[in-house]
Amino acid sequence: GQQLNQSPQSMFIQEGEDVSMNCTSSSIFNTWLWYKQDPGEGPVLLIALYKAGELTSNGRLTAQFGITRKDSFLNISASIPSDVGIYFCAGQQGNTPLVFGKGTRLSVIA
Amino acid sequence: KAGVTQTPRYLIKTRGQQVTLSCSPISGHRSVSWYQQTPGQGLQFLFEYFSETQRNKGNFPGRFSGRQFSNSRSEMNVSTLELGDSALYLCASSLDRTVDEKLFFGSGTQLSVL
């Protein structure tokens, strides 16, 4: 089945630093989504991308849909303590269900 | 607008028992998807319902089943529970997933099988 490789698995950064994480796939996707999950909660949608090459921002977050349609990245600028959590990428192709990466666990050191 | 509501939040069961989890989607959303989340495997797709019909099914044994009611509320059932079924079960809704893929998740039901 389809698989998403998300990296890095975990990150420890200082408050104020920028963060970058990415997802790659062996398959082409029509849609890329980025979610954040806090402990004990469900994932919350951060950004949705629908076109190859699309670059979308949501506050300090910026995500891009790769030109090959097989990858996407998420950047967080000037990280703050509340950015702590697990970030998931998800891809969708046609009418198939969303496929999720295994997540990037972000820890922010104040 | 209320979000996706899942009940109960926590469940403790023993091996061999069965369990039913409930999900109320966002008002107006007709597609409901269920995912199993474990630390090792991440989010694994269970099934998706739209207009009371199962539209997609993941690679889980037949012990896992679900249904959707006419008001779009959904339930999933796991019979003959095994230790490995311990996980966070997440429900997500969307207007119609084939048109708009954005899924909105509930807080999940944490199932522990002893």
In this prediction, residue B99 has a pLDDT band, given cuts at 50, 70 and 90, of low
The pLDDT value recorded for residue B1 is 65
Mean pLDDT to the nearest integer, A93-103? 88
Residue from the list A42, A48, A90 with its beta carbon closest to the beta carbon of B90: A42
**Eight-state DSSP code of residue B9:** S
Residue from the list A31, A45, A97 with its beta carbon closest to the beta carbon of B104: A45
Residue from the list B4, B101, B108 with its beta carbon closest to the beta carbon of A92: B101
Type of residue found at B24: S
Mean pLDDT to the nearest integer, A80-103? 92
pLDDT per residue as tens digits for the range B21-53: 999 999 999 999 999 999 878 899 999 999 999
Please state, in angstroms and rounded to a whole number, the distance separating the CA atoms of residues A76 and A61: 5
B7: its two tokens: 């009940």
Please state, in angstroms and rounded to a whole number, the distance separating the CA atoms of residues A70 and A33: 13
- The chain B residue lying nearest A5, using CA atoms, is B42
What does the DSSP assignment read for B32-96?
EEEEEEETTTEEEEEEEEETTEEEEE-S--TTEEEEE-TTS-EEEEE-S--GGG-EEEEEEEES-
CA angle A38, A98, A50 (to 5 degrees): 95
User: Best residue in B103, B107, B112 to probe A by mutation, most A CBs within 10 Å?
Assistant: B103
Instruction: Test A42 with B33 for CB contact under 8 angstroms.
Output: no
Give Cα A71 to chain centroid, integer Å.
Answer: 10
Q: Does B42 touch chain A (CB under 8 A)?
A: yes
Min Cα separation B62/chain A (Å)? 19
pLDDT per residue as tens digits for the range A49-78: 999 999 999 999 999 999 999 999 999 999
pLDDT per residue as tens digits for the range A15-47: 999 999 999 999 999 999 999 999 889 999 999
- Given a cut of 80, is residue B87 above it in pLDDT? yes
The pLDDT value recorded for residue A110 is 81
A26: its two tokens: 């062996």
A87: its two tokens: 């970030």
A23-to-A7, A43, A63, B97 alpha-carbon distances in Å: 6, 17, 11, 22
Listed in sequence order, the residues at least 6 apart from B99 whose beta carbon sits closer than 8 Å to its beta carbon are none
CA angle B47, B50, B55 (to 5 degrees): 45
